[in-house]
Amino acid sequence: MVPSFRKFVGMVALVIFVVVYAFVAMVIGDMSLQQSSILVKFIYYAIAGLIWVIPAGAIISWMQKPDRAKG
């Protein structure tokens, strides 16, 4: 795969992933933590706000991977 195309695909995947992840985390937090204390909500949103870094790092790592030599 051409590096510039890989970076384009990775960028699109990263943007879509972050938007979908944020929406899902927000909906889960809103629906399941309505009666919870402020501390529980804070802990949930702190963890949910940081955990997206792991899959995003995998996508970025894939984007930076060098192409295999042909031949």
Nearest to 32 by CA among 48, 44, 46, 22: 44
In a domain, 70, yes or no: no
Into how many domains does the chain fold?
A: 1
> Does 36 or 70 have the greater pLDDT score?
36
In a domain, 69, yes or no: no
pLDDT, tens digit, for every residue of 11-68? 999 999 999 999 999 999 999 999 999 999 999 999 999 999 999 999 999 998 877 7
pTM of the model: 0.80
In a domain, 51, yes or no: yes
User: 59 is in which domain, residue-wise?
Assistant: 3-63
In a domain, 24, yes or no: yes
